[in-house]
Amino acid sequence: MAHSEDVDHTAHGQSMGLLRVLGPAHVWALGVGIVLVGEYMGWNFAVGKGGAYAALIACWFAGILYSCVAMIDSEVTSTVAAAGGQYTQAKHIIGPLMAFNVGLYLVFAYTMLEAGNAITLGFLVDTVAAMTGHEGGLDQRPFIVLAIMFLAWLNYRGVLATLTFNLVITAFAFTAIIVMFLATSPLLGAGEMLHKDLMSGQASLPYGWLGILAAMHFGLWYYLGIEGTTQAAEEVRSPARSLPFGTLAGIMTLLIAATLTWYVCSGLLPWEYLGDGVNGAVAPLFSAAQISGSNALVWLLGIGTLFATLASANGCINDASRAWFSMGRDHYLPAWFGAVHPVYRTPYRAIIFLVPIALIFALGAPLDQVITFSILSGLLGYTFMPINMIMFRKKWPLDTIKRGYEHPLHPLPAISLMALCAVTYFAVFLGYGTQLIAMIGFYIVVSLWFHFWRYRFVKRADQFTMPWPRPRGY
Amino acid sequence: MARYIPPVQSKLGQIIDVIVLVVLSVGALFVPLWLGLAGSAKLPVPVENPTWESLGQNPVMVQQWNKLGFPDAASAHDMITARYDYSFSWMALAVMVIVIVGYFVMMIRLSDKEYREVIAEKFGEK
């Protein structure tokens, strides 16, 4: 097992490795499971920022961005079969400080997404209670706490059960979107889609072309997290085959789900309601089901939303804990976090430590702020990827390391990804510039803290664990 | 190259390091919230005595609003008229670009310095 010789054997559980038990279906379930909730909530803030057409254009451009992410990630990760995903890639290709930052991007993107999932779950329970006759509103906090605690416990107990659970509930949630589309579209259903009337006049592009740019901010939410498949690299039986297969199948699934979701929701809900994810359509597919008049669809999409939030939070706990664990194992963080459970073979200390962090955000911040925080961390990670890819090909050309997958048209995907990231920074700047600056400020401060303080506790050569030749130019 | 032997960090030092990270990360989200600087300027633009027509809603839109539990224009007024304010100063945009580019340049340069040490110790001096 990679790294097993590097860990501190004196601490409990640290001499063990993670268990290799996962197949390509689990990789698909991890990636799609994390992301599919993006179709059930959050993407509709893009409608609020630019209108329904803008959200569709953002959906497709974000789809291009994530196709580039999936291709780049698949090539690099097919050679880096270790937990930590992009963190481990950065450590081997760019350097320790970049790796530390990428590790934090991953932890915060996933922990914030987990918090967003828990907020949505609380809202859903409250709505169902109101629909079944409860008056006065429910206290959502116990449900938020219980959901996060239950999923953390599941993750603590073992990765195979965790991701098998994800596979089942993710498949259900995806099927629910397909059924909703078929039941409401003219293909098989009543044909009650109202796009022409709901998107006419001022509703077509309420902010003009600037709104299309602005919508890219939340357009990322349709797919954010698909790159998390790489976190399973150390627990997959055949990483060179399973990771590219699971990741690329995942992005195709999401492109279909995102487009169908947009079609159904924008064809039933006025854009102002759809675009208000705090007071209006918190869970837009569920809202669309409610307005369709079908009780069966309401229950189906209600359960679909519940399952999507659980699957996503579940995958987020899995991925954030692997990134935190990997940084602890390399002493980027206290080595105590680098322990593996002696029985369940999971990074249990990292799992437990991140529970209260997720709860702080789930109980104390509004949904759009939590989502923005997650998107910003994800966006910084996507900005790293083209730099990483170009350096990877430069330091280890194709004839020096055998890849399980070689992405085509290099460097076009890397350049496209960088350009789309630049557009998205501008989109975030439009309306959420303060958070953007606060976030970058945070990463600058922790980078200086790492370089001038924390890095002194890190062994130098032990960080490079891949059986690769010396990089060219070094 | 001589092998670098890192110092052993005390337990208290490890705990302090974790606390520093947690405080910084929580602060990055909550300080803008507490200072009232977070979030967009999405505010309703008041319309006197609103009607569905004056809010730009056609009959199909009105029908959907009614189904959503908004019986009249006044009840949906705030949601329909809320708009983001996308006005910005070029100076603010320039500051954002400088901050982001500066952050990545700083990180790649410092990373490269650390990386050269790693490679030299792993593969030996060239």
CB A20 within 8 A of CB A235: yes
Q: Quick one: pLDDT at residue A3?
A: 40
In angstroms, rounded to a whole number, what is the distance separating the alpha carbons of residues A390 and A399?
15
Which residues in chain A have their CB less than 8 angstroms from residue B92's CB? 429, 433
Q: What is the ipTM of this complex?
A: 0.87
Q: Where are the domains of chain A?
A: 27-463
Residue of B nearest to A452 (CA): B110
Cα–Cα separations (whole angstroms), residue A116 to A141, A206, A269, A356, A370: 13, 27, 22, 14, 6
Q: Between residues 56 and 95 of chain B, which touch chain A (CB distance below 8 Å)?
A: 56-61, 64-65, 67-68, 76, 79-80, 82-86, 88, 92-93, 95
Residues B66 and B93 in one domain: no
Q: Which residue has the tokens 């837009």?
A: A284
Q: Is B122 part of any domain?
A: yes
Task: Show the low-confidence residues of chain A (pLDDT under 70).
Answer: 1-17, 83, 189-190
Q: Amino acid identity, residue A13?
A: G
Residue of B nearest to A286 (CA): B68
Q: Quick one: pLDDT at residue A11?
A: 41
Tell me the residue length of chain B: 126
The CATH architecture of the domain made up of A27-463 is Up-down Bundle (1.20)
Give bridge partners of residue A236 from the DSSP assignment: A22
Q: Is B18 part of any domain?
A: yes
Q: Is B5 part of any domain?
A: no
CB A76 within 8 A of CB A240: no
Residues A437, A438, A442, A445: what is their CA dihedral angle, to the nearest 10 degrees? Answer: 70
A276 lies within 8 A of chain B by CB: yes
Q: Is B28 part of any domain?
A: yes
Residues B81 and B111 in one domain: no
**DSSP secondary structure code for residue A280 in this structure:** S
Q: Is B73 part of any domain?
A: yes
Residues B16 and B49 in one domain: no
Q: Quick one: pLDDT at residue A176?
A: 97
CB neighbour list of residue A356: distance below 8 Å, 6 or more residues apart: none
- Residue ranges making up the domain that contains B108: 88-126
Q: Quick one: pLDDT at residue A425?
A: 95
Task: Show the low-confidence residues of chain B (pLDDT under 50).
Answer: none
Q: Is B3 part of any domain?
A: no
Q: Quick one: pLDDT at residue A241?
A: 82
In angstroms, rounded to a whole number, what is the distance separating the alpha carbons of residues A52 and A37?
19
Q: Quick one: pLDDT at residue A5?
A: 35
Count: domains in chain B: 3
In angstroms, rounded to a whole number, what is the distance separating the alpha carbons of residues B54 and A370?
35
In angstroms, rounded to a whole number, what is the distance separating the alpha carbons of residues A178 and A458?
49
Beta carbons of A357 and B25 less than 8 Å apart: yes
Which residues in chain B have their CB less than 8 angstroms from residue A202's CB? 56
Give the H/E segment covering residue A38: helix A37-40
pLDDT tens for A101-110 read 999 999 999 9
Q: Quick one: pLDDT at residue B1?
A: 67
**DSSP secondary structure code for residue B43 in this structure:** B
Q: Amino acid identity, residue A94?
A: I
